[in-house]
A and B are shown apart, each in its own frame.
Chain A
Amino acid sequence: MFKCFLIKYGEIGIKGKNRHLFEDALVRQICHALRKVDGKFHVYKEQGRIYIDCETLYDYDEVVESLSKVFGIVGICPVMKTEDKGLEELGTEVIDFLENVYDIKDQTFKVLTRRARKSYPVESMEVNAYLGHRILEAFPDMKVDVHDPEILLHVEIREKIFIYSKIIPGPGGMPVGTNGKATLLLSGGIDSPVAGYMISKRGVEIDAVYFHAPPYTSERAKEKVVDLARIVSAYSGPINLHVVNFTDIQLYIYDKCPHDELTIIMRRYMMKIAEHFARQSKSMALITGESLGQVASQTIQSLAATNEVCTMPVFRPLIGFDKQEIIDVSERIGTYETSILPFEDCCTIFVAKHPVTKPNLNAIKRSEQKLNEKIDELVRTAIETTEIIRVE
């Protein structure tokens, strides 16, 4: 019965003169999300609203599922659209609507009519009263409550008449593509996919960099990262995943530098390489899944030491999150199951028993001096041999 969806959006509405840019982006993202759904859909803007007309048979759950991943949508309203055949006929349609949508009819309700077409002969208040009357007649157990109704029945009179009462919450945020691009340092863990999701939610397109270290990390670990990128891309749109072979750099650091500084120095090189690819792909920031104090490399001193190598801003959306809070998000967005598959990632293979937690930047830089001989060449090779996988 629902041949149409009304899309509610929040923050976009307050964007002043740029508003149309945001709306157009949202329409684009909705079209993109619906491309993978069976059926033909027509997405359009009209009078400050976005509508989706379903032009063929479609699967309701499938459509709602894919729309609930489009950032910028605050609510998805399944709408019944009818021709204007007079007030009496409208009353019958409304009763039909309730009959179909609700199994039990004992709720409190309120009818809220809006006349976008002011030429409609009856005023909104009168329509409310008439429809309320018809509903009470048809379903004696329902009651009117104008302050806090359980069912808020919207009737919008336009060229056609729209009836809806349910609002399925969307993910919120802003349409992807309205806020530039950033590059995510993606590992196989729980945190980084969540970080990517959160920044993408603010309208940012995402590229990703993954560091693998064969044979210390397996092909399956890499596949796991591709799978994670694919799950995030359902929200963020296509991701170019850069797979960097980090083995030689890692072993060289292991050979030359104090073992307890290995992780910090490694992460500094990861940031440098990630920044290189970020520039190349016109990203304006880096994203990491770091959370303050979670591990040795995420103390405030360690973050300062890794941050020092980049000139781009580094977004760390999880910085103030507890592990459980991160897990909650990852479960909600569907990355958790994949994240916990047991494959070793390159950060943990050579980790010292007691890595430094309060690195001294000068000491780190002194240790890095020992790498001068070969490191530039190794970094160059790593960059040149990077494999790019387009994930969508």
Chain B
Amino acid sequence: MEAYLDNSATTRCSELVRDVVVRTMMEDYGNPSSKHRKGLDAEHYLRDARETIARTMKVNEKEIFFTSGGTESDNWALIGAAMANRRTGMHLITTAVEHAAVLMPMQYLKEQGFSVTYLPVDGRGRISLSDLEAAIREDTILVSMMYVNNEVGTVEPVEEAARLIKKKNPRTLFHVDAIQAYGKFAIYPKRAGIDMLSVSGHKIHGPKGIGFLYINEKVKIHPLILGGGQQKGMRSGTDNVPGAAGLAAAAKDAYEHLEQNVEYLKKLRGRMLDGLRALNEQLEDGQQSQEEKAGNVRLKNRAEEGERAGERQPEKKAGETVLSDGKLQTKERAGRSGQQGMQAVVINSGEDEYSAPHIVSAAFPGIRSEVLLHALEDRGICVSAGSACSSNKKLPVSTVLKELHLRPELQESTLRFSFSCLTTEEEIDYCLETLGELLPVLRRYIRR
């Protein structure tokens, strides 16, 4: 059996999407810039795609610009807007847990003379609005924030942030990286006060190599890619008709079934979380009885743990509910869990309104994430350590997990399970069952 639980890395293309991509490659393959009939046909695909996408967010189709994907959308939004508004101010704000597609352009802009404020996050990865309020200055031209964190699935307070930004400094632009959120949340940028929004096609069963940037018509922004003047001169390069048409088909499908899909994803998430919790109980009991037999004296570090969990506690009420289901568990268990003080499973993500429905992040203390990943892979289960995008780096420990102040042994043992509406309950069960077989074996050989 196979289980693909890495849908935050990429998704399988839907058949609908495949059909329209093939049609625009094999039959209606014209270049919209051409003057002849074939060109015109292609242009219709492009126009329809733009309209379809605009409708999912209730914006004007003139505000949708196709790009090569999420990374280009983020780069363009940040660099294009910062450069166009530099006379107004040179201050930018973002969060400490952004994707590299935001952090790297920010670093580039810093080298160009801009100053950047990075907002810290709480134990779940959420920023605090009071931090944001304090950070906005007279010369702040842009705030960039992700909607859903790609590694732990936390939802940022985007709408509250938008209101706050507009209240404090109406000239400040607000960019949202919605790459993990589009297709899972109803997002209305105009109503919410979002000026720019990045989306990627392949995260919602569309093709790779296509994405879009929503740019509110009032936003002043420079193009990054110059050339033949396509897309009103804002993003040159031969129009990617198959990509755009495929993305539109995927977007339409996602938003037509939004509610059902989200319900289904939540069900999957619940199943996964319940399974992980059960697994934890089961493994801990085993460990405990072994220890008792051996007559080991358990170290108690309850007080210490309590303190640490306290530190992580966010000010927000909503955060606390999740804490009780994620972090507080650490506190309760640490006392019981014996000599090594090691729980079998620690869940990093939550299950409330501030958690994306399709992401579960969990740590398996003592087992390096790469090892468990390969062991699962061997059984046909695809998951991700941290996020797939950061997996090529020398030290695989993710900066996001570090920002969450997870203990090092949790950072290096975290896996991400991510679902889509193509994921089945059988896949989840198979994954849990396999974890149940692998964990006791792998836990025996923890590096001493």
Using a CB–CB distance below 8 Å, which chain A residues touch chain B? 214-219, 251, 254, 259, 342, 344, 349-350, 352
Contact = CB atoms under 8 A, between A and B. Distances in A.
B448 interface: yes
A254 B442 CA distance: 13
B371 A216 contact: yes
A342 B394 contact: yes
Which of B373, B378, B393, B448 counts the most A-chain CB atoms under 10 A from its CB?
A: B448
Contacts of A352: 448
Contacts of B374: 214-219
Interface string B373-403: 1111110000000000000011000000000
B370 A350 contact: no
B218 interface: no
B370 A344 contact: yes
B448 A215 contact: no
Interface in B343-370: 370
Which of A215, A217, A349 counts the most B-chain CB atoms under 10 A from its CB?
A: A215
B371 A215 contact: yes
A215 B371 CA distance: 5
Chain A at the B interface: mostly helix, strand, loop or mixed?
loop
Contact of A254 (B371, B372, B445): B445
Nearest to B395: A342
B386 to A, nearest CB: 14
Contact of A218 (B370, B394, B445): B370
B445 A215 contact: no
Contacts, number: 28
Contacts of A350: 445, 447
B447 A349 contact: yes
A216 B377 CA distance: 12
Contacts of B377: 215, 219
B378 A214 contact: yes
Given A215-B372, A254-B445, 4 more contacts: A215-B376, A215-B377, A216-B374, A350-B445
B382 to A, nearest CB: 12
B372 A251 contact: no
A8 B226 CA distance: 54
25 contacts: A214-B374, A214-B375, A214-B378, A215-B371, A215-B372, A215-B373, A215-B374, A215-B375, A215-B376, A215-B377, A216-B371, A216-B374, A218-B370, A218-B374, A219-B374, A219-B377, A251-B445, A254-B445, A259-B448, A342-B393, A342-B394, A344-B370, A349-B447, A350-B445, A350-B447
B397 to A, nearest CB: 12
A59 B45 CA distance: 47
Interface in B128-168: none
Nearest to B446: A350
A217 B374 CA distance: 8
Contacts of B378: 214-215
A251 B370 CA distance: 17
Contacts of A215: 371-378
B127 to A, nearest CB: 32
B290 to A, nearest CB: 15
A251 B444 CA distance: 10
A348 to B, nearest CB: 10
Contacts of A218: 370, 374
A356 to B, nearest CB: 15
Contacts of B373: 215
Interface in B325-343: none
Contacts of B372: 215
Contacts of A217: 374
Contacts of B394: 342
Nearest to B441: A251
Contacts of A214: 374-375, 378
B22 to A, nearest CB: 31
A352 B448 CA distance: 7
Nearest to A218: B374
A337 to B, nearest CB: 14
A254 B370 CA distance: 20
B374 to A, nearest CB: 3
B258 to A, nearest CB: 37
Contacts of A349: 447
Nearest to B447: A350
